[in-house]
A and B are shown apart, each in its own frame.
Chain A
Amino acid sequence: MSSELRIAVPRGALFTETLDALDRIGLNTAEVRANDRKLLFEDAGIITMRPSDVPTYVEAGAADVGITGKDVLMEQSEREVHELRDLDYGRCVMVLASVAGEDRAADALRRLGVMRIATKYPRIAANYFQATGRQAEIVEVKGSVELAPLTGLAEAIVDLTATGTTLRENNLVIREEIAVCTARLIANPVADRLKARAIDSLLERLDVR
Chain B
Amino acid sequence: MADRIPSGTRDVLPDEMRELRAMTDRIRAVFERAGYGEVYTPALEYERTLHPDDQTPNPAYRLFDEHGDVLMLRSDMTVPIARVVGTRYPTAPTPLRFSYFAHAYRGVRPQRGQSREFLQAGVELVGSPAPDGTAEALTVLCDALDAAGLKNFRIGMGDVSLYPALLESVGVPADVSERILAELATGDFVGVERELAELRLTGADARLLLRVPRMRGGPEILEDLTGPLEQAGTGMRAVHALLSSGTAARVIFDFGLVRSLGYYTGAVFQVYDPAYGVPIGGGGRYDELLARFGRPLPAVGFALNVERLHIALTAEERDEL
Which of B156, B188, B190 meets A193, CB within 8 Å?
B156
By the criterion CB–CB under 8 Å, are A85 and B190 in contact? Answer: yes
Instruction: Categorize the interface residue count of chain B.
Output: 20 to 34
Q: Contact check, A193 vs B272: say whether CB atoms are below 8 A apart.
A: yes
- A163-193 contacts to B, CB under 8 A, are 184, 188-193
Complex Cα spacing A62 to B254, Å: 23
Interface residues on A, range: 20 to 34
Contact yes or no, A190 B279, CB < 8 A: yes
Q: Which residues of B contact A83 (CB under 8 A)?
A: 187-191
Q: Is B277 an interface residue (CB 8 A)?
A: yes
B272 to chain A, nearest CB (A): 5
A204–B279 Cα distance when bound, in Å, is: 26
Q: Check A191 against B277 for contact (C-beta < 8 Å).
A: yes
Q: Chain B contacts of A200 at CB under 8 A?
A: 214
Interface flag for A91 (CB, 8 Å): no
- Shortest beta-carbon distance, A59 to chain B, in Å? 7
Chain A residue contacts of B254, Cβ below 8 A: 193
Contact of A194 with B190 in the complex, beta carbons under 8 Å: no
Collect the chain B residues with CB atoms within 8 Å of residue A82's CB. 187-189
With A and B bound together, what is the CA distance between A200 and B210 in angstroms? 13
In the assembled complex, 29 residue pairs joining A and B whose CB atoms fall closer than 8 Å, in A order, are A59-B278, A60-B277, A60-B278, A61-B278, A62-B277, A80-B187, A82-B187, A82-B188, A83-B188, A83-B191, A84-B189, A85-B189, A189-B187, A190-B272, A190-B273, A190-B277, A190-B279, A191-B277, A193-B156, A193-B216, A193-B252, A194-B154, A194-B252, A194-B272, A194-B274, A196-B216, A196-B217, A196-B252, A197-B217
* Other A-B pairs beyond A61-B278, A190-B273, A200-B214, 13, CB < 8 Å: A61-B276, A61-B277, A80-B186, A82-B187, A83-B190, A84-B189, A86-B193, A188-B277, A189-B277, A189-B278, A190-B279, A193-B252, A196-B252
